[in-house]
Amino acid sequence: MRKPQDQTRSSGAAIPESGYIVSRRAVLSGLGAMTLLGASGCSQTLELPALGPIEPSGGMPPVGVDHMPTGSIGPIPSISVDRNITDNGTMYAALTDNGFVIPAIPFQKVRPEFRRQIVVDPTGEAPGTIVVRLNERHLYWVQEGGEAIRYGVGIGKAGFEWNGRAEIQYTKEWPTWTPPKEMIARKPELVKWTAGQPGSLDNPLGARAHYIYKDGHDTGYRVHGSPEWWTIGTQASSGCVRMINQDVIDLYNRVKASPTKVPIVVA
């Protein structure tokens, strides 16, 4: 084929005689070949010159280019940007909160699916709902626009799980933890906290707690932070839903901003 510099110049100069003359029929034949090639593999977008009206010759119908896609691809959901959902190093950095210095989380040791992120909402629940999927070890904060913020969680050991529909009655920062009598019976060393363990970095409820009530009664279960970040994604609690402290603070800020009591679904 001729070189690009041998084609028609914008100045109107003649094309050198050494160049090949490409007929309209040859161009059309080439287009037909390209169409066949496109049908045999992945569809591609071709930038083609405008050919203008084509008069059939020799009884042959004009050849066109089929612009229909070879497959049907549905719309790709868009994910919004939230200033609190950034890179892992920022989300899980050390932070000072109410006088406590929460250590950084070595997020590389936390499986990627258990790190905070925005996803397409799989729950079908109304915005402003907390959904805990026990089998997944995920907690979803449902948002407007078909999205959800997903957090990794730790759940109750076998025989200690709770599930159902309820609501978050209230929340607390650096809550006091009072072990139930049944737990003290299993672990007598906890008797020292019969009157409650004040909020601290080693408090089992972590930096925040969300108290789950059903029909106006305390279920005894909480969605709370935990200093034991390595238990996220496992069955390690006595029935409560555990979160990384940095994550539970993020969730707390969203729940606190809700104008109504927050429904929660655990299943």
Q: For residues 247 and 105, give the distance between their C-alpha atoms in angstroms, rounded to a whole number.
A: 11
Among 42, 138, 210, 224, which one carries the catalytic annotation? 224
Among 67, 138, 210, 240, which one carries the catalytic annotation? 240
Is 42 among the catalytic positions? no
- Given a contact cutoff of 8 angstroms between Cβ atoms, the answer to whether 2 and 22 are in contact is no
Q: Are strands 164-173 and 262-266 parallel, antiparallel or unpaired?
A: antiparallel
- In the three-class reduction of DSSP (H, G, I as helix; E, B as strand; rest coil), residue 189 is classed as helix
Q: For residues 20 and 1, give the distance between their C-alpha atoms in angstroms, rounded to a whole number.
A: 7
Q: For residues 29 and 239, give the distance between their C-alpha atoms in angstroms, rounded to a whole number.
A: 71
184 phi and psi angles, rounded to 5 deg: -65, -35
Within a 10 A sphere around the Cβ of 227, how many other Cβ atoms?
19
Question: To which residue do tokens 């977008």 refer?
Answer: 45
**How far from chain centre, in Å, is Cα 173?**
26
Is 138 among the catalytic positions? no
Question: To which residue do tokens 């009598």 refer?
Answer: 181
150-187 burial, b at 16+ Cβ within 10 Å, e below that, comes to bbbbbbbeeeeebeeebbbbebbebbebebeeeebeee
Catalytic residues: 224, 240
